[in-house]
Copies of this chain bind each other. A is one copy, B any other.
Amino acid sequence: MVVDTDRFLADLHALRRFGAFKTGVHRPTFSPQDMEARRWFVGRLREEGLEAEIDGIGNILGRSPKPGPHLLAGSHLESQNEAGWLDGALGCVAALHLARAGLPVDVAVFADEEGHYGSFIGSRSFTGLLEEAEIDRLANRYHDKPLREALREAGLEGRPRLQVERDRYKAFLEMHIEQGRQLETQGLGVGVVTGIVAIWQWRITIAGQQNHAGTTTMAERRDAGLTAVRLLAMIDEEFPRHCAERTVWTAGRIALSPGAPSIIPGGAEILFQYRDVDIDVLRRLEVVLRRCVAESNRRERCPAVLEAMSLSTPAVCDPALQDALAGAAESLAPKRWQRMPSGAGHDAQYLARVMPAAMLFVPSINGISHHWTEDTAEEDLALGMRVLAEGARRILQG
């Protein structure tokens, strides 16, 4: 098995031209530049002898002509707006080069991992978790174009949606940039992903009483903003006592209504989330969060209501696959790798529901992602490609 890392890098750079934006790319799902990239990629798959097509949701499957057992590998091609050249593209081109190296690998490109129209519609379609009714309902989150209209304009209307042939595959592999700076700060070249964290997203709505900030005494007030502040301070004191090592929590949005300097906030809405790879930790933190809200409701005059917006399931990467990738990493980059969870969601989390799945991370310079300055050193890209290929070889042999 020979991996041509020069050609691998050349293909990555070729893909970078589609929707080029500064040093990154702007390739929103089903935009002309995105469709051009997909068609180019189908062409490359065919050049490497794979049988390839774009399906009715924009997914691409390149089928290997080699006899099984097969691996499935891939990621996504579209980008966030004005974002990086490697997020998604790396995993697609790496999968192509597994096949090019002679391994019996099918290459998958999952549409809209970046969520311009929905949540993981490509990998959910492929794994049987996307209903037609949801496709009818979805529209672009930035400009409201219905998904059906986008599919029609992209020339995909009426095509069947490919479904995974579970029996065909031994495993799914996805290579991706880390999107954090754990590898970089430790001087490591490769991360073997232990699992993909679940996001438990909550809305906390606090009801106060809007009033004049001058004429309403402190004793009379029901200031929803102040209750929000105290509740969030309490949560942030409690969570470190109950979280796991890599748990993260974020109040990304605090909206006061009406939000004027001389008006006591009559309402507050907080979007609060936490992420962990361990379902027990997620459940434990739900108990802590509920306790904080109950305590707030005992102490405060403004009632807070806690509402779950989405509670996803963590995806554990298959231990045997992890071991194969770890073995490959240790042989090609001794002591320059670690096991680590993925803090972001990936298509692999849906593939993990239908077959053993694993992921390999390469470092992100300064941890930047979802921005056009996202980048990874070429030597890290090449090392990652070699480790992925060696890992795939070990998996197929194991």
A160 within 8 A of B: no
Q: Cβ of A246: which chain B residues have Cβ within 8 Å of it?
A: 217
Point out which of A212, A220, A259 has the most chain B C-beta atoms below 10 A from its C-beta.
A212
A370 within 8 A of B: yes
A381–B369 alpha-carbon span in the complex (Å): 64
**Copies of this protein in the complex:** 2
Q: Cβ of A247: which chain B residues have Cβ within 8 Å of it?
A: 218
Neighbour of A226 across the interface among B197, B226, B236, CB < 8 A: B236
A212–B217 alpha-carbon span in the complex (Å): 41
Q: Cβ of A201: which chain B residues have Cβ within 8 Å of it?
A: 261
- The answer to whether A248 touches B345 (Cβ under 8 A) is no
A261–B211 alpha-carbon span in the complex (Å): 28
Point out which of A218, A263, A367 has the most chain B C-beta atoms below 10 A from its C-beta.
A218
Interface range for A: 35 or more
- The answer to whether A213 touches B275 (Cβ under 8 A) is yes
Least CB separation from A232: chain B residue: B229
Q: Given known contacts A233-B229, A236-B229, A254-B225, is B261 in contact with A214 (CB within 8 Å)?
A: no
- Distance (whole angstroms) from the CB of A29 to the closest CB of chain B: 18
Q: Cβ of A233: which chain B residues have Cβ within 8 Å of it?
A: 229-230, 233
The segment from A7-15, A106-114, A174-182 found at the interface with B is A174-182
Q: Cβ of A212: which chain B residues have Cβ within 8 Å of it?
A: 179-180, 343-344, 367, 369-370
Q: Given known contacts A201-B261, A226-B236, A229-B229, is B256 in contact with A213 (CB within 8 Å)?
A: no
- Distance (whole angstroms) from the CB of A231 to the closest CB of chain B: 9
- The answer to whether A260 touches B252 (Cβ under 8 A) is yes
Mark A residues whose CB is within 8 Å of B: 178-182, 197, 199, 201, 211-218, 220-221, 223, 225-226, 229-230, 232-233, 236, 240, 246-256, 259-265, 271, 273, 275, 342-345, 367, 369-370
